[in-house]
Homo-oligomer: A and B are copies of this chain.
Amino acid sequence: MAGPGRQSKLEQAGGPADASGVPEMATIIGYKLRRAQLLVFQDFIDSFAELPLRPAEFSVLALIARTPGLKQSDIAARLGIKRANFVSLMDGLERRGLAERRKAAGDKRSHSLHLTEQGNRFVARMVELWQAHEQRLVDSLGGAAERDRLIALLDRIIGAKG
């Protein structure tokens, strides 16, 4: 990792560094990712003032809408949510009448997840609000092509875990 001749390869990993090699925050990938992600989530929250919904709840409803009938554990795993933490999240969606647990056919341990009728209507409005939010983001990036480039780069970081 640190052989001789290291000095001749300054700035190979990070961006501009001072004499001691301390990087400027503006050039650090993780720092920029965090700042951007916080801003995007804040815009998401603001966009859903009319229909209070957190990003995690949005992702659960969207996934159930697209692939109804999946087991609770499957939904949680696909979204990177621990199954223990998924319980109260799903409780909330059920309490609001948007989604429901049904006894799975074969396996009596598991629940399969579905939207309710009200949930379907909710998701329709949710998608409209989301599109406005996403369009703002795409515009700030400079267009759909830039959006695609950003996602392609993020996918390289995420790798096979996508």
Measuring CB to CB, which residues of chain A are less than 8 angstroms from any residue of chain B?
1-2, 12-15, 17-18, 20-41, 44, 55, 59, 62-63, 65-66, 78-80, 120, 123-124, 127-128, 130-132, 134-135, 137-138, 140-142, 144, 146-147, 149-151, 153-159, 161-162
| Cβ contact within 8 Å between B144 and A12 | yes
| Cβ contact within 8 Å between A32 and B141 | no
Copies in the complex: 2
| A152→B105 CA distance, assembly (Å) | 50
| Cβ contact within 8 Å between A123 and B34 | no
Q: A18 contacts which chain B residues (CB < 8 A)?
A: 65-66
| Cβ contact within 8 Å between A34 and B41 | yes
A44 to chain B, nearest CB (A): 6
Partner of A131, one of B14, B32, B37, B144: B14
Which residue, of A20, A59, A66, A154, has the highest number of chain B Cβ atoms within 10 A?
A154
| A133→B128 CA distance, assembly (Å) | 40
Some 11 contacts from A to B, beta carbons below 8 A apart, are A14-B130, A15-B151, A18-B66, A25-B59, A27-B151, A29-B40, A30-B44, A31-B59, A35-B158, A36-B154, A39-B159
A63 to chain B, nearest CB (A): 7
